[in-house]
């Protein structure tokens, strides 16, 4: 479970022209940057949480790269 007191989706939302859809208050642009940082951390955690299970494939990948 992930909990944030801020509206991350609102901070990330852009319209079709690339303009921000919502103002970020009360934190302004620093709060928007922190929302992006938190989003990147969430994605990296989700992608890297089982890296030890993937270590089984490393010898095969290295062997294949040598060809």
Q: What is the DSSP string of 2-64?
A: ---SS-HHHHH-B-TTS-BSS--TTTHHHHHHHHHHHHHHHHHHHHHTTHHHHGGGHHHHHHH
Mean pLDDT of the chain: 85
Question: Does 51 score more than 80 pLDDT?
Answer: no
pLDDT greater at residue 49 or residue 64: 64
Structure confidence at residue 52 (pLDDT): 64
pLDDT digits (tens, 9 = 90+) for 27-41: 889 999 999 999 999
């Amino acid at each position: 479970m992930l909990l944030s007191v801020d509206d991350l989706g609102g901070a990330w939302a852009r319209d079709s022209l690339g303009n921000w859809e919502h103002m970020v208050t009360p934190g302004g642009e620093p709060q928007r940057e922190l929302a992006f940082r938190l989003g990147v951390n969430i994605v990296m955690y989700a992608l890297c949480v089982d890296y030890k299970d993937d270590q089984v494939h490393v010898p095969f990948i290295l062997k294949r790269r040598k060809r």
